[in-house]
Amino acid sequence: MTVGVAGLAQDQETTKTVGDQLLTFIQSAADLLGKGLVELVNLVLPEGREVSSDLAQPLGYLGLITVILLLFGIIEAARKVIWIVVIVGWVLLVVRIILDALHVA
């Protein structure tokens, strides 16, 4: 029983560590993306009207969510194309079976 409890505690620590690492990665990605977006916006704005670096974190999180949404959109479009290919494949297979059953060359 002691070994099982120790193993369970170790699994919880590993899960906590993985969760912490994932959140740290998301925070770092959002921070990097936000800083990049602030620099990009500041390139467009006239001198003296720069965007505050305080907006880097909110811009980063919104940018990260936007990238995720774009990826899901691409996946959705790919899913439709895959369904079309699968349907065409089934139709061609059924036609081949019918032609084979009727002994048509």
Residue 65: what pLDDT?
94
Interatomic CA distance for residues 23 and 80, integer angstroms? 32
pLDDT of 8 reads 54
* Complete DSSP assignment for 6-61: HHHHHHHHHHHHHHHHHHHHHHHHHHHHHHHHHHHHHHHSPTT-PPPGGGHHHHHH
For the stretch 54-85, pLDDT in tens is 889 999 999 999 999 999 999 999 999 999 99
Check residue 16 and give its pLDDT: 74
For residues 75 and 72, give the distance between their C-alpha atoms in angstroms, rounded to a whole number: 5
Q: Is the pLDDT of residue 9 over 90?
A: no
pTM above threshold 0.75 = no
Name the DSSP letter for residue 81.
H
Task: Look at residues 61, 67, 59 and name the one whose alpha carbon lies nearest to residue 42.
Answer: 59
Asked if residue 60 lies in contact with residue 31, where contact means CB atoms within 8 angstroms, the answer is yes
